[in-house]
Amino acid sequence: MTVHIGAKPGDIAETVLMPGDPYRAKWAAETFLKDAKLVNEVRGMLGFTGTWQGHRVTIQGSGMGMPSLSIYANELMAEYNAQTLIRIGSCGGMQPHVNIRDVIIAMTASTITSPSSGIFREFNYAPCADWSLLIAAVKAAEAKGTRTHVGGIYSSDVFYAERPDLDEQMVRHGILGVEMEAAELYTLAARHKRRALAVLTVSDHLQTGEALPAADREKTFGDMVEIALQAAFS
């Protein structure tokens, strides 16, 4: 048991999926896991452990933003021996060819600052995904026929950004989408020598203003969860 995770020793699986929303963790656990058991509800940040095709899996909410994810990822790795951590969440599309409902598999995650920035000082560390997870996720997406993009994303430390000049440069340099957690997850995984990946559903688009209707979200997010699970155990 840690400060933010009330799970007992052995309650957390070595493979952890991390949606930002704790209620999305509940939905994913009930939808995809067999015999899912609630193992954490401290501060309402729900976590569940069950099995998928015979493999133990934990689905633990991370909260919104890198500082919140950092708390849970650190405790999962340092205290519960989590070995594979996959962020599953939504993102905003940034490129014209990236459409609503598409899935982005993040090869790299650029950021202005993160909770780990202080230890690097002037060094610009480049957080990246685990290659074995990335290639397995690509193969899983191809097998499902899911429209998928692989490349760099931007992890923002604010939701309501007011930097159109920065957005312009990110689009210019091929950034596929924006979210708020992956850069810190990738950095922490490298530090702890663990595997990490972010598989993201495009729920809205910064250029077109489109947004995924609430009624369509479950099916689209389901594709993302299945890709993450297939990648974890390939």
Residue-by-residue DSSP string for 152-176: EEEE-S-SS---HHHHHHHHHTT--
Q: Is position 181 annotated in a ligand binding site? A: yes
CATH classification of 15-232, choosing from 3.30.70.20, 3.40.50.1820, 3.40.50.1580, 3.40.50.300? 3.40.50.1580
pLDDT (tens digit per residue) in 33-86? 999 999 999 999 999 999 999 999 999 999 999 999 999 999 999 999 999 999
Q: What own/partner pairs with CB < 8 Å and gap ≥ 24 does 45-49 have?
A: 45/4, 45/72, 46/22, 47/5, 47/7, 47/12, 49/7, 49/11, 49/12, 49/13
User: Considering the chain, what percentage of its residues have pLDDT values greater than 70?
Assistant: 98
Model pLDDT, residue 219: 66
Q: Is position 132 annotated in a ligand binding site? A: no
Model pLDDT, residue 55: 98
Active site residue 130: no
pLDDT bucket at 218, cuts 50 / 70 / 90? low
Instruction: Judge whether residue 216 has pLDDT over 90.
Output: no
pLDDT (tens digit per residue) in 76-90? 999 999 999 999 999
Model pLDDT, residue 30: 97
**What number is the average pLDDT over the span 96-125?**
95
pLDDT (tens digit per residue) in 172-208? 999 999 999 999 999 999 999 999 999 999 999 998 9
In angstroms, the CA 232 to CA 79 distance is 21
Residue-by-residue DSSP string for 104-124: EEEEEEE-S--TTHHHHTT--
Strand pairing partners for 151?
106
Model pLDDT, residue 141: 97
What Rg, from alpha-carbon coordinates, does the chain have? 16
Q: Which residues lie below 8 Å from residue 153, measured CB to CB, with a gap of 6+?
A: 91, 104, 106, 108, 109, 110, 175, 176, 177, 178, 179, 182, 198, 200
Task: Please pick, among 21, 130, 204, 223, the residue that the annotation labels catalytic.
Answer: 204
Q: Is position 162 annotated in a ligand binding site? A: no
Q: Is position 147 annotated in a ligand binding site? A: no
Q: Is position 20 annotated in a ligand binding site? A: yes
Q: Is position 4 annotated in a ligand binding site? A: yes
